């Protein structure tokens, strides 16, 4: 019998500093869930954490997928930034049962970017599966055609491109790849399954996605209570400023800035009116 799980990470530090980090994580999430034959219903990646809803009859497969994903991103971060994220990247799961509870969790995951004030409109956020659920009915054909013009099937890529996107993991040849090397969520999200929760009714779906909503599982809210709103800069922009400064200092990453360099960087960010909470999470203070 299949069971639903809310798989999520916790943390206060920015783990995804630039677009490439999001893409690597998205692709590894896709290939890891495929490797263990999990059905993915929703996924949203924020700068400090991620949320997803997966379905499987095998709980061990869910656990193995989590371990694979966590190991892959930990190795990626260590190689790129020269620092072990260790316990900064904890991944947990909670079983979800009952149609109403599953729908609440789906809405929470797909609206997490609004919950954290990063976006005012769920479908406008690029690192979430929400915009793909009813894309054929919500997006004008001309925009869908423009998107399709930027994609290729995995089987159409050369060996080097395939290794860059999926590593040694096997993924379906018909998965769609964007020109920035991201596997489109429409390839691995079970869109038919998600739509069924709203009776295949786009109006019902949009009503729920756009209205205020409180997640039924308070422990998720408590674990994920970090407010990552941005007043003038996105976390990617702030991290870009920090990482450019680190490179100018001859450092592999911001993790290796000395005390004086950190103080100078913090002072520069404050002069740009970056708030202290955003500075803290982007610099791991």
Structure tokens at 283: 């610099």
Residues 6+ apart with CB under 8 A from 64: 36
Question: Domain check: are 206 and 250 in the same one?
Answer: no
User: Does residue 243 sit within a domain?
Assistant: yes
User: Does residue 260 sit within a domain?
Assistant: yes
Nearest one of 88, 72, 38, 86 to 285, comparing CA atoms: 88
User: Model confidence at 117, in pLDDT bands (50, 70, 90)?
Assistant: confident
User: Does residue 68 sit within a domain?
Assistant: yes
Mean pLDDT of all residues in 75-96: 95
Question: Domain check: are 171 and 32 in the same one?
Answer: yes
Domain boundary among 223, 247, 264: 223
Q: What is the pTM of this model?
A: 0.92
* Alpha-carbon separation of residue 20 from 14, 48, 230, 249 (angstroms): 14, 15, 20, 22
Q: What per-residue confidence (pLDDT) applies to 236?
A: 96
Question: Domain check: are 52 and 155 in the same one?
Answer: yes
Question: Domain check: are 189 and 251 in the same one?
Answer: no
Q: DSSP secondary-structure letter at 11?
A: -
| Angstrom distance (rounded) from CA 219 to CA 277 | 23
Domain boundary among 172, 199, 223: 223
Number of domains composing the chain? 2
- Mean per-residue pLDDT over the chain, rounded: 92
Q: What per-residue confidence (pLDDT) applies to 273?
A: 93
- Name residue, tokens 């009776």: 199
Q: Which residues pair with 4 in a beta bridge?
A: 55, 96
What percent of the chain clears pLDDT 90, i.e. is strictly above it? 86
Q: DSSP secondary-structure letter at 92?
A: E
Question: Domain check: are 165 and 266 in the same one?
Answer: no
What DSSP line would sit under 161-172, residue for residue? Answer: HHHHHHTT----
User: Does residue 229 sit within a domain?
Assistant: no
| Angstrom distance (rounded) from CA 2 to CA 151 | 33
CATH classification of the domain holding 143: 3.30.70.1290
Question: Domain check: are 112 and 203 in the same one?
Answer: yes
What percent of the chain clears pLDDT 70, i.e. is strictly above it? 93
Containing structural domain, residue 264 = 235-283
Q: 38-47, 95-104, 182-191, 210-219: which has the minimum mean pLDDT?
A: 210-219
| Between 228 and 1, the higher pLDDT residue | 1
- Do 122 and 206 contact (CB within 8 A), yes or no? no
188-243 pLDDT, tens digit per residue, is: 999 999 999 999 999 999 999 988 654 444 434 444 444 444 458 999 999 999 99
Q: Phi, psi at residue 72, to the nearest 5°? A: -65, -45
Question: Domain check: are 100 and 31 in the same one?
Answer: yes
Question: Domain check: are 180 and 100 in the same one?
Answer: yes
Q: Which residues pair with 55 in a beta bridge?
A: 4, 39
Question: Domain check: are 181 and 279 in the same one?
Answer: no
Task: Provide the residue count of the chain.
Answer: 285
User: Does residue 173 sit within a domain?
Assistant: yes
249-284 pLDDT, tens digit per residue, is: 999 999 999 999 999 999 999 999 999 999 999 999
Mean pLDDT of all residues in 73-102: 95
User: Does residue 208 sit within a domain?
Assistant: yes
User: Does residue 228 sit within a domain?
Assistant: no
Question: Domain check: are 98 and 75 in the same one?
Answer: yes
Write b or e for each residue in 141-178: b if 16 or more Cβ atoms lie within 10 A of its Cβ, otherwise e.
Answer: eeeeeeeeeeeeebeebeeeebeebbeebebeeebbbe
- Do 96 and 59 contact (CB within 8 A), yes or no? no
Q: Would you say the C-alpha torsion 129, 133, 137, 138 has a positive or negative sign?
A: negative
- Name residue, tokens 């100078």: 264
Mean pLDDT of all residues in 14-32: 98
Q: What per-residue confidence (pLDDT) applies to 121?
A: 87
Collapsing DSSP states into helix, strand and coil, what is residue 129? coil
User: Does residue 190 sit within a domain?
Assistant: yes
Mean pLDDT of all residues in 151-178: 98
Question: Domain check: are 164 and 247 in the same one?
Answer: no
Domain boundary among 190, 223, 256: 223
Question: Domain check: are 253 and 210 in the same one?
Answer: no
Q: Is pLDDT at 25 greater than 90 in this prediction?
A: yes
């Amino acid at each position: 019998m299949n069971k639903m799980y809310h798989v999520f990470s916790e943390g206060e530090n920015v783990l995804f500093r630039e677009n490439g980090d999001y893409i690597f994580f998205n692709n590894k999430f896709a290939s890891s869930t495929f490797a263990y034959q999990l059905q993915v219903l929703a996924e949203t990646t924020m700068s400090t954490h991620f949320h997803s809803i997966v379905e499987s009859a095998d709980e061990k497969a869910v656990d193995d997928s989590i371990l694979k994903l966590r190991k892959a991103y930990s190795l990626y971060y260590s190689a790129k930034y020269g620092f072990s994220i260790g316990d900064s990247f904890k991944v947990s799961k909670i079983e979800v049962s009952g149609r109403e509870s599953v729908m609440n969790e789906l809405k929470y995951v797909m609206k997490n970017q609004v919950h954290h004030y990063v976006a005012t409109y769920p479908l406008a956020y690029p690192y979430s599966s929400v915009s793909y659920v009813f894309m054929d009915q919500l997006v004008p054909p001309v925009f869908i055609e423009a998107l399709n013009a930027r994609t290729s099937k995995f089987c159409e890529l050369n060996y080097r491109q395939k290794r860059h996107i999926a590593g040694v993991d096997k993924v379906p040849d018909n998965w769609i790849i964007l020109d920035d090397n991201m596997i489109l969520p429409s390839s691995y999200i079970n869109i038919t399954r998600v739509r069924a929760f709203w009776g295949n009714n786009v109006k019902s779906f949009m009503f729920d996605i756009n209205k205020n909503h409180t997640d039924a599982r308070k422990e998720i809210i408590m674990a994920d209570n970090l407010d990552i709103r941005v007043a003038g800069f996105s976390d990617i922009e702030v991290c870009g400023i920090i990482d450019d400064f680190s490179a100018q200092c001859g450092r592999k990453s911001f993790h290796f800035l000395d005390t004086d360099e950190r103080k100078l960087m913090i002072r520069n960010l404050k002069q740009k009116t970056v708030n202290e909470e955003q500075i803290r999470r982007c610099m791991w203070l």
